[in-house]
């Protein structure tokens, strides 16, 4: 079977790796012909990388038809927001991911806030603005902290937590006047700041129902102790011990049941992965955001724990029968730590030589996924080529064992300016 995974990060590396290992370990083993567009040097171990960017929908369509791709899996949010799934479906190509209409749950924070409000999902108080003057006047009447969000996609960096109204005004100026994230900041959402612990909840979803994956805690800030600027994510772990069974039940009933019911009422069928970023406040989940694809770096942990064949899940979702599949996850602990480049997240440096990433004897329990890497001048040498450079993923029968494996492995990896958080999973 020919499968195309679209994207170039550690998330896509994790997807390709899981597909390849599932095929290898099946009884009997079966062959998959895997492709990745554009992929990365780590993915080359399992798949043929094709030099087509994830947002080049026309070329991706042509490639899929020419190579007779039987299933496409879309990783990043940008092509989903641009309607790549709709375009594939128009050509009768099987594709895993939500349509453009459903992708608005991530592509527009204002749309999502209003839809969630209609659904009765617990959420922070919010206001939406398209006028800079009105937005400034509003924040001047607030005490910090104040959450300011760009409405559109901003690679996970369009959210600022301003400590004062003056700082909030500066953020609004950058978003709405300086257009820091281009048109993504033309509309802004200003929200109540919630105090609690954030948790990521992902589910495989189709019109037959949904299957919730293990809850995961992400670490957004750049530095230990949750200090510094927001990033796309510095590390994740699961299981999450601070969420009780009662709170988990509320996540199902108050968030996933309500939003999927509301989507059906609005004529927006959803097929793919729905990601809810939640703040747990006194055992109650409050919606921070929805994403419409596998989270990054949440996926790295979720797929390490997934015992069910991933291809089986993809095909079930496409055919609207996920409710019929027995999806199982291991009871082990898994942890992922992100290694970033010098200057991340503002201006990451590229071209630094990377060493120490070759597979090791214990790669069944700890391994490295590529995120922002490339080959130096068409050679075999590996260099940094993005902000989040590598992910190290570990697994164990306890979180302590998984952490030890990951941090020992990190010490073997070297590149100039290497940065990582040393406290991933310690708040558990």
Residues 312 and 205 occupy one common structural domain? yes
CATH number at residue 163: 3.30.1490.20
Output the DSSP codes for 114-161: HHHHHHT-----EEEES-HHHHHHHHHT-PSPEEEEESS--TT--EEE
E-strand spans in 282-371?
A: 284-291, 333-340, 353-354, 366-370
* 118 falls within a domain: no
Containing domain of residue 363, as a range?
A: 333-410
How far apart are alpha carbons 252 and 282 in whole angstroms?
A: 16
Question: Residue 379 maps to which CATH number?
Answer: 3.90.600.10
Same domain, 217 and 296: yes
Query: Do residues 169 and 241 share a domain?
Result: no
pLDDT (mean) for 31-47: 96
- Residue 260, pLDDT > 70, answer yes
- Look up the CATH number of the domain holding residue 40: 3.40.50.20
pTM of the model: 0.96
Residue 226 binned pLDDT confidence (cut-offs 50, 70, 90) = very high
- In this prediction, residues 102-117 reach a mean pLDDT of 96
pLDDT tens track for 117-165: 999 999 999 999 999 999 999 999 999 899 999 999 987 778 889 999 9
Judgement on whether residues 318 and 202 belong to the same structural domain of the protein: yes
- Residue that terminates a domain, selected from 49, 80, 99: 99
pLDDT of residue 222: 95
Examine residue 301 and state whether it is found in any structural domain, yes or no: yes
Compute φ and ψ for 60, nearest 5 degrees.
Answer: -65, -40
How far is Cα 103 from Cα 52, in angstroms, rounded to an integer?
22
pLDDT reported for residue 110: 96
Yes or no: say if 294 and 315 are a contact pair by the CB < 8 Å rule.
no
- CATH number of the domain within which 241 lies: 3.30.470.20
What tokens appear for 36 in the block?
A: 């990745």
* Assigned domain for 106 exists: no
Domain total in the chain: 4
Do 179 and 294 lie in one domain? The reply is no
Q: What is the mean pLDDT of the chain?
A: 95
pLDDT at 428 exceeding the cut of 70 = no
Query: Which two tokens mark 404?
Result: 């030890």
Segment 64-99, tens digit of pLDDT:
999 999 999 999 999 999 999 999 999 999 999 999
pLDDT computed for residue 158 by the predictor: 85
**Residue 24, domain member (yes or no):** yes
Domain-located, residue 119: no
């Amino acid at each position: 079977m020919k499968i195309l995974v679209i994207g170039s990060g550690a998330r896509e590396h994790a997807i390709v790796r899981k597909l390849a290992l599932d095929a290898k370990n099946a009884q009997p083993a079966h062959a998959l012909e895997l492709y990745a567009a554009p992929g990365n040097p780590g993915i080359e171990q399992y798949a043929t990388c094709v030099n087509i960017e994830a947002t080049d929908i026309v070329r991706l369509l042509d490639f899929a038809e020419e190579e007779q791709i039987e299933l496409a899996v879309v990783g990043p949010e940008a092509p989903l927001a641009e309607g790549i799934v709709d375009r594939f479906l128009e050509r009768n190509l099987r594709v895993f991911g939500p349509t453009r209409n459903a992708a608005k749950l991530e592509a527009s924070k204002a749309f999502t806030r209003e839809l969630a409000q209609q659904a009765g999902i617990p959420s922070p108080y919010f206001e939406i603005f398209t006028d800079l003057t009105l937005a400034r006047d509003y924040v001047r009447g607030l005490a910090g902290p104040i959450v300011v969000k760009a409405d559109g996609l901003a690679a996970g960096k369009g959210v600022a937590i301003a400590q004062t109204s003056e700082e909030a005004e500066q953020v609004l100026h950058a978003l709405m006047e300086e257009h820091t994230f281009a048109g993504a900041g033309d509309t802004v959402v200003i929200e109540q700041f919630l105090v609690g612990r954030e948790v990521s909840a992902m589910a495989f979803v189709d019109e037959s129902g949904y299957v919730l994956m293990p809850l995961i805690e992400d670490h957004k800030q750049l530095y230990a102790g949750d200090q510094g600027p927001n990033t796309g994510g510095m590390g994740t772990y699961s299981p999450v011990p601070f969420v009780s069974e009662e709170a988990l039940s509320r996540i199902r009933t108050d968030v996933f049941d309500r939003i999927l019911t509301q989507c059906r009422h609005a004529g927006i069928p959803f097929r793919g992965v729905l990601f809810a970023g939640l703040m747990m406040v006194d055992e109650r989940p409050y919606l921070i955001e929805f994403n419409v694809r596998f989270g990054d770096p949440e996926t790295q942990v979720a797929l390490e724990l997934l015992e069910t064949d991933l291809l089986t899940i993809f095909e079930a979702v496409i055919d609207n029968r996920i409710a019929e599949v027995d999806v199982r996850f291991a009871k082990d602990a898994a942890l992922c730590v992100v290694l970033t480049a010098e200057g991340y997240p503002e201006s990451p440096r590229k071209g630094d030589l990377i060493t120490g990433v070759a597979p090791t004897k214990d790669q069944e329990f700890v391994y490295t996924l590529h995120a922002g890497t490339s080959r130096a001048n068409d050679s075999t040498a590996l260099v940094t080529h993005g902000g989040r450079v590598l992910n190290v993923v570990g697994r164990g029968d306890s979180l302590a064992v998984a952490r030890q494996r990951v941090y020992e492995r990190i010490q073997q990896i070297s590149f100039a300016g290497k940065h990582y958080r040393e406290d991933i999973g310690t708040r558990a």
